[in-house]
A and B are shown apart, each in its own frame.
Chain A
Amino acid sequence: EAGVVQSPRYKIIEKKQPVAFWCNPISGHNTLYWYRQNLGQGPELLIRYENEEAVDDSQLPKDRFSAERLKGVDSTLKIQPAELGDSAVYLCASSGQYLNTEAFFGQGTRLTVV
């Protein structure tokens, strides 16, 4: 069974440019998370989807970040415009029907804003 797939693996952009990350969760997983991880820190939740509904986006900086999960399967996270402080690893994870089931991570996208 395929795991969580993310692309691209690496991205380098200039500040003020837009960038998008894509995630395809494990088949059948209804819950999808986007986390951001800075060096030496744990993952911090940006947004959580249950199917196509964003049920927790309280930590998403909505002035520049947006996300969508059309048809309740794959998801896209966008930053526009990017700032230097957005440099981090963006992780996508998915889990089964209930939040208490374990979450599995994709390989992540390492974003560098210069």
Chain B
Amino acid sequence: QKEVEQNSGPLSVPEGAIASLNCTYSDRGSQSFFWYRQYSGKSPELIMFIYSNGDKEDGRFTAQLNKASQYVSLLIRDSQPSDSATYLCAVSNGNKLVFGAGTILRVKS
């Protein structure tokens, strides 16, 4: 079992729709959870982090964390073509920061 798992996609959504990206992790001791966006040929860019159960909103982005289910998600409202990228989920247990393989998101105009 991989430490951090994501559906590779691609996830295709129409412009203006909500994109929902999901991530599960295996280490129950995980404390911090991050979402990075990576455009093709570029390095990962941090867009959200969440430490506590529940929702955290930042503009069009909402991160959701459920530690009991070992599940973290990212919602992107009013999706734009510029949101098309690979979204990487990263999880930290205080000793190491582990990344998932990423989900490709395609927003169609």
Chain A residues within CB distance 8 Å of chain B: 33, 35, 40-45, 48, 56, 89, 91, 98-100, 102-108
Contact = CB atoms under 8 A, between A and B. Distances in A.
A45 B98 contact: yes
A42 B101 contact: yes
B69 interface: no
Q: Is the interface of A mostly helix, strand, loop or mixed?
A: loop
Nearest to B31: A100
Nearest to B33: A100
Contact of A106 (B32, B43, B49): B43
Nearest to B48: A102
B98 to A, nearest CB: 7
B97 A45 contact: yes
Pairs of residues from A and B, 6 with the lowest C-beta to C-beta distance, nearest first: A42-B99, A100-B32, A105-B43, A42-B101, A108-B43, A43-B99
Contacts of B46: 102-104
Interface string B52-95: 00000000000000000000000000000000000010101011
